[in-house]
Structures are given as structure tokens and as C-alpha cells.
Amino acid sequence: MSRRGLLALFLLLASCKRTEPAASAVPDAGAGEVRPAASSVRDAGSAAQAVGSAPDASVAEVHPLAVCDARGGSPLNAARNYYDGGQYEEALSCAAQAAALDPDLAAAHAERGVALAALGRESEAQLAFARALAIDPGDAESLLGAARLYAVQMESTRERDELGVLYAERGLSQPSTPPELIPELALVAAMAFNDLGQADEALARAAIVLAREPGNHEAQYERALALFELCRFAEARKAFGALLDDPERAAHVHQHLGLLLEREGKWKLAQGHFDKARELSPEDFPEPPLPSQEDFRAAVAQAVAGLSSDMRRDLKGVPVDTEELPSDADLLANQPPLSPTILGLFRGPSLSEPCDGKETPCRSVVLYRRNLARAVRTSDELREQIRVTLLHEVGHLRGEDDEELAARGLE
């Protein structure tokens, strides 16, 4: 699951890490310079007509930034000091002045980017980081700021997570990257890799952080999550257990301990952890719309009947079954293993490949009741997710891999 709400807490770990205050009402682009609207520059006739007329209600009110008070220092250093003090508007003003004085200074645009991100002005922050990296593709601060913006702050999508990984990994690979930035870059990479389902890579990046900062709880959490996703369940249970007293991550820890105990058939103990996770974070862990096994089978059968005729033809002779949870055997049949939270599974060769005769039938599809119910919030969403999961597995039946399916919106 994406953990944007939780992972944003990483930004509070140290004064140099980026926080997320409420979005600013300042609407101007870039560094906040006052610029004429495009129409006033390009349409002299319209501008002349506007002289002496009533204000046009369609023109956005301009809120220029305050003049930078550098307090006797350079605007760039002042921007950094203001940022570390939580004064983001002042940081933006001074970063804007630094960029105006030296437009080719990547650090000035990067500092604009982090201030804009802290103010919730994400689209402007994207442009600021893009400009900084166009000037200096290897600037470590710019890479870290862009990685955080895409992989932590913005709403999770595959493309944003991939961008976050690219920026963080580039920062990690640069010989000129300051040593103090290595753990921060590695942590963002671990977050993004976990969200992308690349748990082996996430585990390696979490290890980089923990080698330097053994007490970093966010890295410990990313490590625990990666162990869970890699089906190293005993290690994951121990790792999550060590974080139970961490108030910032306790809800997610309880949820994963519930998932681990559920796999062991310890239903009552598992439910206790699920209830605690819901108590601590009801928005993240609402009560799942878990149907009875009979109703779930009926919903799956209805979804199969609703497929197009060519899909039903391809499924002829391919049973579509339901199970509670994926078995260890199914998860460990691949390397790296499949996630324990998968919603469905296609077993066997694609239609274009011959059956090997070891299994009868050699092809099958299975949908998992508990994982599907936890992936949604309402019964209507569950029915839709069953349909999408079924389409995903039919894609595998036809020979598509996960990347191709994700490109078609069937991730």
C-alpha cells in the first residue's frame, strides 16, 4: 500500500528535512516575481481598453513576495536559514532573489523548489527542480528535493515513484554527493522502491541508511515492510514488533502484524491488531467490506459473466477460483516472491505456450477474498476491483506481463 500520509512524517526527523505545512494561497508562478499577464503583453489593444475601466474580476489578484531580508548575508544562505526555521515564505523570497541575481545557480532554484514544496505549491516546485537539474544534472540537493517531492509528498502513482527512484538513485551514484545526504537519498529510494513493489531494492537501500543511522525508525519500517513483501515472515514479524512503541508508525505496524498472524491462522490475535490499527488510524484502515465466502464467489462469477465474449472464450477451460489468502507455495514460486497482498493470481503458461502436463488443468485463475476486501472501502468498490483484478489475470493468460498491464491501467 502507498504510505504517503505516514511517510511524510519522515520530513520531520531533522531540521534539514522537508515538512508539509498547509498550502499557501500565493498563486504566482516561479519565484514569486510580479509579472504582467500574457494578454497585457501580447494584446496592446485590450490593454489600452482596460485603462480607466473597472477591474476585471477574471484577473487573479497578485500577491508579490516580500523583499528578502538577508540579514547581512547572501540571499541563498538566508533562504536556507529561513527554511530551517520553518519560515517558508521568507525562504522563498530569499531563494527567488538568489535565483534572480544568478539565474544559472542550480542551488538557488533547488532552494526555491524545497520552499515551494513546503508551501504545498507542488507544480511550481516541479518546475523549480526541473530548472535546477537542467542547469546541473548532478546537483545532490536538487536530486534529493525532487526525489522527495515525487516519491513522498505528491500523491502516489507509478510514474511519480519511478521518477523519485531515478532522482534518488542518481544522487546515490554521484561521487560528489555529500556524505550527509547519502542516508536521506537512500531512505527516499527505499520508500519509492517499496511502493513500486521492488522490495529487494528497498531492502538494500534501507540497509544503507541503517548502516549509518541504526536508530532511524523510518528506515527500520521500510526494512520491515520489504521483509514482509519478500515473504521473509519471521524476520518481518520481529522487525515490526520492534516498532510497536513508535507512535508515528504504530497503526501501520499493527496492520502488518495482523497480516502476518492471519497467515498463521491466528485469526483472533490478527483481528486484535487490525482493530488497533483502525483505532489509531481509521482513515488509513477502515473496516473492510468483507463479504461471506458464498457472496464473494457469486460476485466473482458475476464478473466473469460480464467479460467480453472474446475474454470468456479465452477463459474456457480455465477455472476461476476463490481463496482466502495466497499460499506460501504460490508466493514463493517466483523470484523475487510475489507480494502477500496480491489480489489475484494466474497460474500456468499463457495461451501461446504449451502446457507441460504436470498440472490438471494447467491454467487457472484465483482471486483472494481478504486481500481484495482490504484494498477497497465499499461493496461497490469491491465489485469494481474484482472486475479489474479479473481483467489483469486475463491479461496474464494472454501473455502480458505486469509492466504491460500497468501501462494499460490494470496494475
pLDDT value for 26: 34
CA 155 to CA 309: how far, in whole Å? 36
pLDDT value for 17: 34
Task: Locate all alpha helices (DSSP H) within 244-333, ordered by sequence.
Answer: 250-263, 267-280, 293-305, 309-314, 328-331
Percent of the chain with pLDDT over 70: 85
What 8-state DSSP symbol labels residue 179? G
Residues in the chain: 411
pLDDT value for 403: 83
pTM for the model stands at 0.81
Q: How far is CA 140 from CA 9, 163, 175, 176, in A?
A: 22, 15, 10, 8
pLDDT value for 40: 33
CA 84 to CA 121: how far, in whole Å? 18
How does residue 255 score in pLDDT terms, banded at 50, 70 and 90?
very high
Average pLDDT over residues 99-121: 97
Residue found by looking up cell 560528489 in the block: 176
What 8-state DSSP symbol labels residue 350? -
pLDDT tens digits, 13-59: 333 333 333 333 333 333 333 333 333 333 333 333 333 445 555 66
Q: Which of 96-100, 117-121, 239-243, 350-354 has the lowest mean pLDDT?
A: 350-354
Percent of the chain with pLDDT over 90: 78
pLDDT tens digits, 157-185: 999 999 999 999 999 999 999 999 999 99
How does residue 407 score in pLDDT terms, banded at 50, 70 and 90?
confident
CA 357 to CA 261: how far, in whole Å? 36
- Secondary structure class of 133 (helix, strand, coil): helix
Instruction: Write the DSSP string, 9-58.
Output: GGGGSSTTSPP--PPP-----TT------HHHHH-HHHHHHHTTSPPPTT
